[in-house]
Amino acid sequence: MRELADKSLEYLRNEMTIDPNKLIPQITSFIKKHMQKMERDGVILGLSGGLDSAVVAELCIRAVGAQKTLALLMPEKDSSKVHLQDAIDLAKQFKLQSKMLDITPYLNKIGIYRTFPFDTLIPKGLRESLVKKVFTWFNNKTGTSYFSRTLHGSDSGMKGEIINRSFAYYRAKHRLRMLLLYLFGERDNRLVVGAANKSEYMVGFFVKYGIDASTDIMPIMGLYKTQVIELARHLGIPTHIINKQPSPDLIPGLVDENAIGLPYSKMDLILLAIEKGWSDEEMTQVLSKADITFNNILYVRDLMKQSEHMRTVYIPD
């Protein structure tokens, strides 16, 4: 039985391995084909300073060239200075066209910062550490993640109102970025390219109708996060970009693992096993070797179920 578990875990890990030499030409051909099919003169993407957008930027450059690739850098007052500087450095390293748009005035104009006055509720010097502690406390207190709570509406009352306001507060940022991508994309006749990966998409870790959900094409949507990391190494993405903690960069201190409640290394194995049709019993038996529990498996299945509405447009029967 132990040998079977080891072999099965090895099988999953082998299945997660990609062949970059085969994959890169497929993705770059995909980007170029759709740019031509939609009769666009170039491509446009949001460059955040994170891993996914860095990988997509490099793939776009290889597909259509730096001169036909425009990157929008769209920080706001809650954005990490580290991520912004990384985005600036990447744009220079890649020698691509870039445009900086501070979206703070736009968000301020439509009242987003008044919707949930994060900067007045939490002193600036405490924000990052306090946000991390709050998410960890919530996960420990409720037995689930705050992120899972965001996938549906909240309860009524003061607590529900605060949660709803926080949802509106951070989701508007990604939706405004999507609007700006299409504004400049359509103005310059460019194909809008997104940077969502399969892991985020399957569990709903994205903003519906936001910058990573509503684009013309999604070149890395077929790849789990761990596969994107492997691809990034092959593409020569800077090591510090690969190694830094993934973050949606919506609230200071918020990182993916804190928000989701599981590292991608574990979640991706669960998602792959589910994709392969494994039962919960089979997954528990095999994935326990990777320090993955039955509750972890149930949690990921629940995220997939709760986020189904984010991947579906419902119409009457």
Question: Counting beta carbons within 10 angstroms of the beta carbon of residue 11, is it exposed (0 to 12), middle (13 to 18) or buried (19 or more)?
Answer: middle
What's residue 117's pLDDT? Answer: 67
Winning range, highest mean pLDDT, from 111-120, 164-173, 295-304: 295-304
Report whether 29 contacts 178 (CB < 8 A). no
Coil, helix or strand for 18? coil
What are the tens digits of pLDDT across the range 201-255?
999 999 999 998 899 999 999 999 999 999 999 999 999 999 998 888 877 777 8
Question: Which of 153-167, 177-191, 302-316 has the largest mean confidence?
Answer: 177-191
Instruction: Pick 133 or 20 by higher pLDDT.
Output: 20
Average pLDDT over residues 130-143: 73
DSSP code string of 220-236: TTTS-HHHHHHHHHHHT
Q: Look at residue 76 and give its three-state secondary structure.
A: coil
Question: Any idea of the CA torsion for 86, 87, 92, 97, to the nearest 10 degrees?
Answer: 180
- Asked if residue 103 lies in contact with residue 177, where contact means CB atoms within 8 angstroms, the answer is yes
Indicate the range of 126-130, 164-168, 245-249, 283-287 predicted with least confidence: 126-130
Give me the percent of the chain exceeding a pLDDT of 70.
Answer: 92
Kindly report the number of other CB atoms within 10 A of residue 156's CB atom: 9
Residue-wise pLDDT for 48-66, tens only, equals 999 999 999 999 999 999 9
Sequence ranges of the domains in the chain: 2-310
Give the largest CA-CA distance in the chain: 62
Confidence of residue 140 (pLDDT cuts 50, 70, 90): confident
| Lowest mean pLDDT, pick from 100-114, 144-158, 197-211 | 144-158
How many angstroms separate the CA atoms of 12 and 111, rounded?
47
Does residue 4 carry a pLDDT above 50? no
pLDDT at 7: 52
Q: What is the pLDDT of residue 248?
A: 83
Mean pLDDT, rounded, of the chain? 90
pLDDT for 2 equals 43
Q: Enter the pTM of the model.
A: 0.91
For residue 138, is pLDDT > 80? Answer: no
Q: Considering the domain 2-310, what is its CATH architecture?
A: 3-Layer(aba) Sandwich (3.40)
DSSP 155: P
Higher model confidence: residue 158 or residue 167?
A: 167
CB 298 within 8 Å of CB 279:
no
Residue 157 clears pLDDT 70, i.e. is over it: no
Residue 97 pLDDT greater than 50, yes or no: yes
> Who has greater pLDDT, 154 or 299?
299
